[in-house]
Structure 1
Amino acid sequence: MTKHRLLVSSRPGHRDGLARIGDGSIGGKARGLGFLNVLLRRTELVRMFPRFRVEIPPATVVCTREFDRFVERNELVKCIDWTDDAEITRAFCAIPLRRELVMSLVLYLAKHRIPLAVRSSSIHEDGSVSPLAGLYQTVLLPNNGPEEADRLQQLIDAIRVVWSSTYHQAPKGALRRQGMLLSQERMAVIIQPMAGRRHRGYFYPTIGGVAGSVNYFPIGSLRPEDGMVAAAVGLGTRAVGGGQVTRFAPHRPSLRPELYRPEEVRLNSQRSFDAIDMASGRLRLADDPRATIASIPLEVAREDGGMSLLESTWLPAERTISESPLAKGIPLLTFQGLLQNTRLAQLLCHVMERAEEGMGGAVEIEFAGDISRSPNRSRHVVDFVQLRRLPQTWHSGSVRLSEVAAERVLVRSSSAMGSADLVHSGPIVYIPPTALTPSVSRAFGDEVARINRVLRDREQSYLLIGPGRWGSINLSLGIAVTYHQISEARLIVELSTHEHRVASSQGSHFFHNIAAGHILYMGLDEEQGGVLNREWFEHARRIGGHAGVRLLQPKTPVRIQVNGRSRSGLVFVEV
């Protein structure tokens, strides 16, 4: 008979903690939640932050033994060798769950009628060696259908979709890169109620995002230890997916250098947000696990009344930003009212400091916030939904950069991560800044992935240089690739030029994985003194690639130097 065991006891005034369905491991992500749950019980958050209700949504974990049974009894281990993710998911979703597990899910749904997040929790996920951030599936469910059978079917589909992602190409590539055996990977599944409220036909929190206790690339007088928060209106999918976000340093929230360039803030601000479509309760999820997520114009959030603390007013004639509610001008998404009128930044700092003490290093926490919009609601609600260790690469190394003639410099960066002084004689994948438009971003990503596969088969590494933000879900910000599609890159360079002015991908799952995978990184901003030798790349020998994606082979080797302490990086031609 299926077992139900309470992992963390309930707290007075709070919802339940973690509970288990079945036997086996709860996986890495669930371990992080359990740790955070216990950690927050030991702190005096109610006394320190009386205007906030801090919660960890109660998680019910379908343990790894259920995954093992499903795979073994249905001979699905063969999917390890399959290369079509959609085919793998369809194979999993075509097979029924065992009766005992289904009955446990029926009992669960009888107690929960609000939207649910169904998340992966593999045994290697969110570990310090290979965090696998964002490589497995997460499915968000409206959980509101009038028919119990529809709600149950979507939950069953969601579990099978998450299980199937164990054998998808992205995590398989990451595990291979770390030298881990795919046959040893096991998947638990976390089921959690979601933070937020229903607005007409949609459900979403005021904000969702990710907070890191280290800022890899601080600007101006900011320091790495000031941390970094990337937050978005609505679901946090935009923040972890490398979309348009608002950033601030939680230890110094009043220091916002970007606000001195309001035109740029407006250009890079959110224009839409993600929410759960509450009319999607009957959709089958095998073909599209994101079918329940809708992209909504930001004006809808304004109409719902959720933007009062998030927007400022830009006065173009005066070239200033006003926080006055009476100001007449252009709305600008800055989160200034939220940072000035609540203690959200201080709360995030406190929780991260406690987590750092417990985990022995820098951390990253995903959160969702439902911000009070009227005097009748006395407290803001903040849910913490994930905790992981940050890769410790930002301060590593003491490489001294060479002094070389300007014509030999290919790339110079003041936002570099890693530590290296090495010679590269292999190819370079280069996309000119002038070649990228949203209409070709996905095609460019497919071509980069094809080149990555070819070079992987040849056991060759390469340098990857291109405009905008690598790995972004927003096609207007950069190249649409996933981590496993660039897994053989030795160095990744993100170009911020006059053609494409964007911030780095810091805070996204993609960035987290390249850091954990020890892939060197450089962010190059031409307006901040970064150097891109466009002429050299234009005349370099081309040996492959299609359209705007160029596969180049230098006549002579190039040298890569990265100093993580000074965040400086250099690529130059050897002589």
Structure 2
Amino acid sequence: ARSHNHSPVEPLLPEDGIAAICIGLGRQVATGGKCLRYSPGQPHRIHQFHNNESTLDTSQRTFFAIPMGQESGSVHPSEEENLLKLGLKEAEQDGCLTLVGSTYITSDDRIVDSVKIDGGPRIVTFAPILKHGRFPLSEILHHVLTSCENYIGSPVEIEFAVSIDSSGSKRFAILQVRPMMDGSVDIDVDLEEVDKDKAICICSQSLGNGVIEDVRDIVYVHPERLNRMHTADLTSEIEAIDATLRQESRPYVLIGPGRWGSSDPSLGIPVQWEQIMGSRAIVEAPMADIHVEPSQGTHFFQNIITFNIGYLTIGPEDFLDWDWLDSHEASTESGPLRHVRLESSLKVILDSRDSEAIITK
């Protein structure tokens, strides 16, 4: 858990913090496995679970455990080889799913915050804790993070564990406390001082923190040339460009109108994360003919946090240099979609304190 959240989606605030929680050993989080990320300061706003489909896609399905009954045998050099990787069926049989589990009722397409009913698969939502207060995890985390930050004088990150014994007694333990090891935490972007001639994009609403460098590719969809009724036609072409760039180890900036990953193709490009996973920064620009409420990255929230992807939303007062983009020869072009390879690298600068960002030439 961290006391400062670099990617707060409104109405979350940076000081609400960010926590990654799972059942089983913390290796699930450390290795980038599926877990739940939320802000302890506002535990009821879980953007990762913004709809049932997202909940099913991003919730934890397996967990790591230590084989406590194994009294002999060799110790493997690989940490993971010494552990068990189990499914939720084992967690339910052991009784540890009660505090963290829900049930997806397939016949009604709804989620019930209990594992004491039948009707569908179990999913890990932590709803009994976060929504129904079965254990004050968020209150403890928020208090510990705030207290440690105030004592140290800078943002902190902690590792923690919660154990539940056979009698149901619960125990919260702090395993480690350290200052947030983020050299870019003090980045401050002053939009009024930015030279537009040196910028491709100036944005007053962004997620992420730090500097993303060595980006020489831009994949973009021009809103003026886009037919909103045919956005789905672009997904396979974007996927092909993404696959090529990933194979070449070339990260890129992805720019397009409306909501990336929208379930309604008329409101954005309905890509899946697997089709754009090579991007290092994603930009949502306004549609040409209608106003679309920005997604602020909620469709890919888990991936944005996990892989530290910059997410920029262009507002009415912001700047995006479409003419500069169009002035470059395209490596790939299909209707409104263009892939541009640049001779010099771009720099994406993200300021999490003010949620501001710029992309410089």
TM-score band, normalised by the shorter chain?
0.5 to 0.7
1:213 maps to 2:3: yes
- 2:76 is aligned, of 260, 285, 299, to 285
Distance 2:204 2:310 in 1: 8
* Structure 1 residues 238 and 554: CA distance shift in structure 2, 3 A: same
Listed as ranges, the matches of 1:60-459 within 5 Å are 211-277=1-67, 279=70, 282-286=73-77, 288-315=78-105, 320-323=110-113, 327-330=117-120, 331-339=122-130, 340-372=133-165, 376-377=167-168, 379-390=169-180, 391=182, 393=184, 396-400=187-191, 414-418=206-210, 428=216, 434-435=239-240, 444=246, 448=249
Alpha-carbon offset, residue 304 of structure 1: 1.6
CA gap of 1:557–1:325, structure 2 versus 1, over 3 A, is closer
Aligned to 2:310: 522
CA displacement at 1:361 relative to structure 2: 1.3
Deviation of 1:248 after TM superposition, in Å, equals 2.2
Whole-Å separation in 2 of the counterparts to 1:237 and 1:384 = 16
Q: For the structure 1 residues 282 and 387, does the alpha-carbon distance in structure 2 shift closer, same or farther, using more than 3 Å as the test?
A: same
1:280 deviation in Å?
9.2
Report the Cα offset of residue 559 of structure 1. Answer: 6.1
- Contact preservation (8 Å) 1:365, 1:388: yes
Instruction: State the AA in 1 paired with 2:126.
Output: F
TM-score (norm 2): 0.63
Q: Which residue of structure 2 aligns with residue 34 of structure 1? A: none
- Counterpart CA distance in 1 for 2:84 and 2:191 is 48
1-structure distance, mates of 2:177, 2:43: 22
Return the match for 2:302 from 490, 503, 507: 503
Q: In the aligned structure 2, how far is the partner of 1:289 from the partner of 1:362?
A: 30
Please state how far the C-alpha of 1:260 moved relative to its aligned partner: 4.1
Quick check: 2:211–2:347 contact (8 Å CA) kept in 1?
no
In 2, the alpha carbon distance for the partners of 1:436 and 1:311 equals 39
* Residue 571, structure 1, aligned to residue 336, structure 2: no
Amino acid at match of 1:567: S
Deviation per CA, 1:347-375, whole angstroms, max 9, x where unpaired?
22222233223322111111122235x6x
CA distance 1:246–1:564, change in 2 (3 Å): closer
Q: Which amino acid aligns with 1:416?
A: G
Q: Secondary structure at the match of 2:191?
A: coil
Q: Determine if contact 1:283/1:291 at 8 Å carries over to the other structure.
A: no
Are the aligned partners of 1:541 and 1:555 in contact in 2 as well (CA < 8 Å)? no
Cα-to-partner distance string for 1:54-100 (whole Å, 9 max, x where unaligned): xxxxxxxxxxxxxxxxxxxxxxxxxxxxxxxxxxxxxxxxxxxxxxx
Are the structure 2 counterparts of residues 418 and 313 from structure 1 closer, same or farther at C-alpha, using a change threshold of 3 Å? same
Give the secondary structure class of the aligned counterpart of 2:357.
Answer: strand
For 2:25 and 2:241, how far apart are their aligned partners in 1?
Answer: 28
Query: Are the equivalent residues in 1 in contact too, given 2:102–2:125 (CA < 8 A)?
Result: yes
For residue 517 of structure 1, what is the aligned residue in structure 2? Answer: none
Distance in 2 between residues matched to 1:556 and 1:392, nearest whole Å: 24
What residue identity is the alignment partner of 2:302?
A: A
Aligned equivalents of 1:525, 1:327: Cα separation in 2: 41
Give the C-alpha shift of residue 337 in structure 1. 0.5
| Counterpart Cα distance in 1 of 2:275 and 2:177 | 27
For residues 6-64 of structure 1, the C-alpha deviation after alignment (integer angstroms, 9 at most, x for no partner) is xxxxxxxxxxxxxxxxxxxxxxxxxxxxxxxxxxxxxxxxxxxxxxxxxxxxxxxxxxx
User: How far apart are residue 563 of structure 1 and its match?
Assistant: 3.6
Q: Are the counterparts in 1 of residues 6 and 353 from structure 2 also a CA contact under 8 Å?
A: no
Change (3 A) 1:556 1:505: closer
Cα distance per residue 1:205-260 (max 9 Å; x no partner): xxxxxx11111111121111111111112111121222211122212222334444
Query: How many angstroms does 1:263 deviate by?
Result: 1.5
RMSD (Å) for aligned C-alpha atoms: 4.9
Q: Which residue of 2 aligns with 1:493?
A: 281
2:21 match: secondary structure: strand
Say which SS state the counterpart of residue 208 (structure 2) adopts. Answer: strand
TM-score by length of 1: 0.42
Q: Distance in 2 between matches of 1:476 and 1:558?
A: 24
User: Tell me, what secondary structure is at the counterpart of 1:503?
Assistant: helix
Q: Tell whether the 8 Å contact from 1:464 to 1:492 is kept in structure 2 after alignment.
A: yes
Question: Which residue does 2:263 correspond to in 1?
Answer: none
Higher relative contact order structure (alpha carbons within 8 Å, sequence separation ≥ 6): 2
Confirm or deny: 8 A CA contact 1:398 1:419 kept in the other structure.
Answer: no
- How far has the Cα of 1:539 moved from its partner? 6.4
Classify 1:410/1:398 alpha carbon distance in 2 versus 1 (closer, same or farther; 3 Å). closer
Following superposition, the deviation at residue 465 of structure 1 comes to 5.0
3-state secondary structure, aligned to 1:243: coil
Contact 1:414 / 1:567 at 8 angstroms: preserved in 2? yes
- Counterpart secondary structure, 2:302: coil
- Alpha carbons of 1:384 and 1:562: their partners in 2 closer, same or farther (altered >3 Å)? closer
Q: What is the match of residue 172 of structure 1?
A: none
Task: Among all aligned residue pairs of Structure 1 and Structure 2, give the percentage whose two residues are the same amino acid.
Answer: 22
Is contact 1:312–1:323 with CA below 8 Å preserved after alignment? yes
Q: Which amino acid aligns with 1:214?
A: H
